[in-house]
Every structure is written in C-alpha cells, then in structure tokens.
Chains A and B, each alone.
Chain A
Amino acid sequence: MSGPSTYVPKNAAARWLEQRLPILGFAHDSFVAYPTPKNLNYWWTFGAILSFMLVAQIVTGVVLAMHYTANTNLAFNSVEHIMRDVNWGWMIRYLHANGASMFFLAVYIHIARGLYYGSYKAPREVLWILGVVIFLLMMATAFMGYVLPWGQMSFWGATVITNLFSAIPLVGDAITTWLWGGYSVDNPTLNRFFSLHYLLPFMIAAVVGLHVWALHVVGQNNPAGVDIKDVAKDSVPFTPHATMKDALGISVFLMLFAWFAFFVPNYLGHSDNYIEANPLVTPPHIVPEWYFLPFYAILRAIPSKLGGVIFMFGSIAVLFVLPWLDTSRVRSATYRPLYKIFFWLFILCVICLGWLGSQPPEGGAVLAARILTAYYFIHFLVIMPLLGLFETTKPVPASIADAVLAKQAGQAGAAH
C-alpha cells in the first residue's frame, strides 16, 4: 500500500484499466504481494473468518428481508412463513441466526488474540480502536436483529435494553420515548430497528475497510510481537501463504457453523422467542443472547440503575484506552510470564461473568457477579499499568527470523 506498486499488468485490458483506476494494483499489493510475518499461527486466520461472516450475514440478511414484514401484527408470522413456506427459507434463517453467534464467537477469539499478543500497542492503537468500533456496531446490529422476529425475548430484550437510556439523568425519559417513537416498544420501534438493522452491517463493512487500511499501514503483529525488519527474511507474500492458511481456517470454522445451523439450530436461541411478543406478560426470566451475557451480568451486578448502565458501557469503553493502560514495552505474552497468567485469569473471569449473566439474579450469584465485575475493571485499570512496571520479561528475539529459528531449535532439541 505504501510505495510504488510492484504490480505488472499482464494484458492490454488490465494495462488500460490500471492507467485509469489502479484498482488491480491496489488489490495485488494488498492481498497478493503484501508481506505477512512468516510466523503467524492459526489465531491470525480469524480476521479472514470475520470478513467471511460479515458477507455471509449480509447475503442471508438481504434474502430474509425479501420475505420479512416489519409490522407488529405480521412480523412473527412472516418469520414462521419464512420457516415453513419460503423455498429454503428455514435454511437461510438458521444460517442468519446462527451466523450471528458464529460472528461473535469469531470476534471474541479475534479480540482475545489481540489481548494475548499485545496487538493494541503502538503503532496499532488506531487499528485497535477501529476494531472496538466494529465490535460496538456489531452489538447494535445483533441487538436490533434479535428484535425483528417479534417473539417474547425480542420484545422484552428490547424493552430492558432501551430502558437503559432512561437511567440518564434529566433527559433519560425523553430519549427513551424518542428511541421508541411511542410510550413503549411498539410498531414504530420495530420499523426503525429493521431500517437500522439493514443499514448498520454496511457501516460495519466501511469500518472494516478502515481497519484493514490501518493494518496495512502499520503491518501485522505476530506471535513474537516484533515487527518485520527484513522483508526477505521475516516475511512471506500474502498469496499463497496467508490466502491458503485463511482458506483452511474458514473451512474448519464453517464445519462448526454448519454443525450448529443444521444439527442444533435452536441450541443457542431461547425457546421463548417462538412465542409471539405480548406486551402484557413478562417472561419469568429474561436473558439476552449468549454473546451479551458477560455485559448483562455486569449490568445486574451494580445495585443502582444508573451505576449498572455506566459500568456496562464502561466495560467496553475501557478497551478504547487499553493501549495507554498497558505500560509494558514487550508486546507478546510469550515473553511476559506474569501477563500470561493474568490474561487467562481475565478470560476465565469473562466466561464466569457470562455464566452468571444466564442465572437468575439471586443470592450467591449476585455476590459472585460483583466480585468478578470488580476484577474485570481491576484487570484493566490496575493490573495492566502495574504489570508493565514490575514484571521481569523474558528476552525478546531480535527478529521474526530469529524467533522462528529459536522455536525450530527448541522443537529439534525436544525431539532428540
């Protein structure tokens, strides 16, 4: 992307186009010749998996929109119509509904990869921040999508989440009424959510464009956490190396996706969503989709309405400033023995919060959620800054080539 292109048009038509719009050269430099660190592992295939999932959601979504009706009297039945009458409708809907879960699974692994290998550190701050923006847009998209089938969980999930805004002092109620277009979640709400659910994925696609642009300016991080110094020794061209590895990653991921979509299509959903929305009956236990559970647990852990909302949004906002909270000069956890332990504790903390988010808020569950919420923030606000100051790190290899050689030597040694 930087410097003159190495692309050489192979025929007259390509040469003609290239002189007018250098798009072939751009694609060649970005996805063929682009130097990728030669030590990348499979955790680096999740970017490609995410891009694939975004396209999959858009394709299945556009098809669903051809058969779906965004009206409170018709929405629930139109989804049943998709399931029973539309040719292949059941498959397309199951792909879309489970696709959302797969999308989040992939994004959580992608974020965890970034946390482990310090991919958010200079000079990748903007790249990281764009990623957090994508994550927020994904959450908004999935939340509004879940409202569309107009089942009980759709309705009550929408009610609870839009009511979060009523916690804002003074203007909260006015904002909530404005979001609803009425005095409760109703037809105007459903209509606007559909409009926005259609729009946001394309905004995600635009931010993904910026994310990849930023990536190609600063270059990819890698398991050693050292930058490419010598292109010939430290890197390999994107195609065929990264292309093939990504293709394998996507294929394996698709097996998991297909298993959910075809064998247990309702496992990740909630059975209450097959009951049509009823504004006069709250289900006994409201839970969001699994991918929101850790944040839901944080919301409920705080015994104050405004406080819960602040902590819930804060738990994501803190990611924006992470590049400045981490004071360590070493990127990769491979060379940070203490951070490695704290990283896994943090992952465990989030998983436990997720489980607590699925439980009724009673007794021990509330206390546990409070302790883990505190730990979540302590991890970012206390442990990350202090660790950089006190941790004794292991020697970092001088280059990617050295890291690869050291690893091969280690494996050869172990084999003897």
Chain B
Amino acid sequence: MSNVATTTTMPNSAHPEPTRRDMLYLATGAVAAVGAGALAWPFIAQMNPDASTLALSSTEVDIGAIPEGQIVTIKWRGKPVFIRHRTKKEIEEAVNVDVAKLPDPQPDSARVKKPEWLVVIGVCTHLGCIPLGHQGPYDGWFCPCHGSAYDTSGRIRQGPAPRNLVVPDYAFLTPTKIKVG
C-alpha cells in the first residue's frame, strides 16, 4: 500500500514544472469563472432601471403662469423638480457671493440659463428629503431632516449636505415652456 502511495505522488513533488494537466485545470477554471461571471451579470443588472422607467425620462412644463417670487414643484423621474421664478433681490443675493468660500463652489451663472429662472432637482443632497422653499437663513431652501440650508441659487451653505441642489438637463422650448430631461 505505502509503495503505491509514494509512486503516485512522487512525480508531482519531484517535478515542480507545470504539466499538461495543470494547464488543463487552469483553462477549465478560467472558463468556469468567466461563465459564472457572465451568468451573474443578468442577475445583478436586472435590478437597474428597466426600459419603462427609462422611457419616462423627460417632461415638458409651461412656466408662463408662475408669478415672480414663486416656486413650482413638478414631478420628474419620480422626483420633485423646483422651478423658481426669482425676484431681483433673490438674483442679487445669488450673484453677490464670494464663490470661493462656498462648500461646493459654483457661480450662479453656471446654474441658470436665464437669471429669473432657477431649475433644480428638489432632493436634498444629504439623504434625499425635500427641502422647504423660502425658508432657512439663506432665503433659498431649508431641509427639515438634518438641517441643511440652501441659498437662492440652490447652493449648499450650511448643514450636512455635501453638494448643491442638482441642476437637471433642461431646455427652453419657447420663452414660457421648458423641457426637463
């Protein structure tokens, strides 16, 4: 018995060079790993937004009826979008800021297409609550959840949120109509 054992194990321990068999094991293993990965992907990807969710991705809004000083909330991709018709004072407050001192530095001009109209996604960049308009120390928005304050350009000024309110893709179709998305 012991003879048999030694003779069968000897060749492997005596010859450390890879054999034809090692090569085959490796190739089989590699194919199996790629196969498992390829099969896993559909099971992971099925959780991403599906075609019907992606299809809903743009909305047209008539902004002609929004008076100066008001914020209108519309729903886009399941999220609120704020359309704010800013007053002179609010525009000035947004422009006259030392941009370099902001937590997420961005000049107002980079956030609007026309100074009177600010369009931002109404989701707090902290953990996703909806900030309340015309509130907080900067006259923009205030998030009741953990106390983030945004200014009249939707920029974060105070509190735990790391970034400014996001400006979605949008375009003016006519002077009184925009398309979000």
Interface pair A163/B47, CB less than 8 Å apart: no
Smallest CB gap from A283: residue in B: B144
Q: How far is the CA of A180 from the CA of B126 in the complex (A)?
A: 17
Q: Mark the stretch among B20-28, B77-85, B94-102 that contacts chain A.
A: B77-85
Tell me how far the C-beta of A292 lies from the nearest C-beta in chain B, rounded to whole angstroms: 14
A282 with B144: in contact, given A304-B160, A305-B162 (CB under 8 Å)? yes
Interface pair A181/B47, CB less than 8 Å apart: yes
Chain A residues whose CB sits within 8 angstroms of the CB of B77 once the complex forms: 182-184
Tell me how far the C-beta of B161 lies from the nearest C-beta in chain A, rounded to whole angstroms: 7
Tell me how far the C-beta of B157 lies from the nearest C-beta in chain A, rounded to whole angstroms: 14
A164 within 8 A of B: yes
Chain A residues whose CB sits within 8 angstroms of the CB of B147 once the complex forms: 361-362
A281 with B144: in contact, given A183-B77, A303-B160, A305-B162 (CB under 8 Å)? no
Q: How far is the CA of A285 from the CA of B145 in the complex (A)?
A: 6
Interface pair B129/A179, CB less than 8 Å apart: no
Tell me how far the C-beta of A296 lies from the nearest C-beta in chain B, rounded to whole angstroms: 10
Tell me how far the C-beta of B163 lies from the nearest C-beta in chain A, rounded to whole angstroms: 9
- Candidates B48, B129, B145; contact of A177 at CB < 8 Å: B48
Q: Mark A163-190, 1 if CB is under 8 A from B, else 0.
A: 1101000000000011111111110100
Q: How far is the CA of A303 from the CA of B162 in the complex (A)?
A: 10
B113 within 8 A of A: no
A160 within 8 A of B: yes
Q: How far is the CA of A276 from the CA of B31 in the complex (A)?
A: 50
A235 within 8 A of B: no
- Candidates B49, B50, B73, B127; contact of A163 at CB < 8 Å: B127
- Candidates B50, B75, B160; contact of A308 at CB < 8 Å: B160
Interface pair B48/A181, CB less than 8 Å apart: yes
Interface pair A282/B130, CB less than 8 Å apart: yes
Interface pair A182/B161, CB less than 8 Å apart: no
Q: Mark B36-58, 1 if CB is under 8 A from A, else 0.
A: 00000000100111100100000
Interface pair A179/B145, CB less than 8 Å apart: no
A284 with B144: in contact, given A181-B48, A186-B78, A279-B75 (CB under 8 Å)? yes
Interface pair A184/B79, CB less than 8 Å apart: yes
Chain B residues whose CB sits within 8 angstroms of the CB of A243 once the complex forms: none
Interface pair A279/B79, CB less than 8 Å apart: yes
Chain A residues whose CB sits within 8 angstroms of the CB of B162 once the complex forms: 304-306
Smallest CB gap from B123: residue in A: A184
A160 with B127: in contact, given A181-B47, A285-B144, A303-B160 (CB under 8 Å)? yes
Smallest CB gap from B53: residue in A: A182
Name the interface residues of A249-301: CB closer than 8 Å to any CB of B: 279-282, 284-286, 300
Chain A residues whose CB sits within 8 angstroms of the CB of B177 once the complex forms: none
Q: Mark B52-82, 1 if CB is under 8 A from A, else 0.
A: 0100000000000000000001010111100
B29 within 8 A of A: no
A320 within 8 A of B: no
A160 with B50: in contact, given A186-B78, A279-B75 (CB under 8 Å)? no
Tell me how far the C-beta of A372 lies from the nearest C-beta in chain B, rounded to whole angstroms: 17
Smallest CB gap from B78: residue in A: A184
Smallest CB gap from A280: residue in B: B80
- Candidates B50, B53, B129; contact of A159 at CB < 8 Å: B129
Identify the B interface with A (CB < 8 A).
44, 47-50, 53, 73, 75, 77-80, 123, 126-130, 144-147, 160-162
Can you list 20 A-B contacts (CB < 8 A)? A160-B145, A163-B126, A164-B127, A166-B128, A181-B47, A181-B48, A181-B50, A181-B53, A182-B78, A183-B79, A184-B128, A188-B47, A188-B53, A279-B79, A279-B80, A280-B130, A282-B145, A285-B144, A300-B160, A305-B160
